[in-house]
Amino acid sequence: MLFVLKGGCLLTGYMTVKEASTKWGLSTRWINKLCQDMKIPGAELFGGVYAIPVDAKKPTEDRRIKTGAYKNWRKKYGRNKIPGFESETREAIQKKKVGRPPKIVNKEA
């Protein structure tokens, strides 16, 4: 494959982010992010555009949680109670709230 730079220079053995997107079945934004994080070995930045080697393999590391552990977490734990995050609930904060202090009036005059 040929990779054409703005100045008209040709690089052989590289593909664009769009070509990698169709080859690997990933979005162009995700491939750009992988290139920024240096997850694709050999990817080079030329004038704001990444050139990816043709023989580069699709990155397999995916840190997204796919087990469904966070599915319906509000129903499981309540809106104000997130596991691992200790804070007061909305009701406790409402109970602590006190109105303005009483106004002191000087009656000596």
pLDDT (tens place) for every residue of the chain, 109 residues total: 555 555 556 778 889 899 999 999 999 999 999 999 889 999 999 888 899 999 999 888 777 767 777 777 667 666 555 555 555 566 666 666 666 666 677 766 5
Taking residue 20's Cβ as centre, other Cβ atoms within 10 Å add up to 25
Query: Does an H or E element contain 33, and which?
Result: helix 28-36
CB-side exposure of 62: number of CA atoms within 13 Å? 10
Helices 17-24 and 28-36 pack at an angle, to 10 degrees, of: 110
Structural domains in the chain, CATH included, are 2-53 (1.10.10)
Residues in the chain: 109
Q: β-strand 14-15 against 44-46: which pairing, if any?
A: unpaired
The residue whose two tokens read 């080079």 is 44
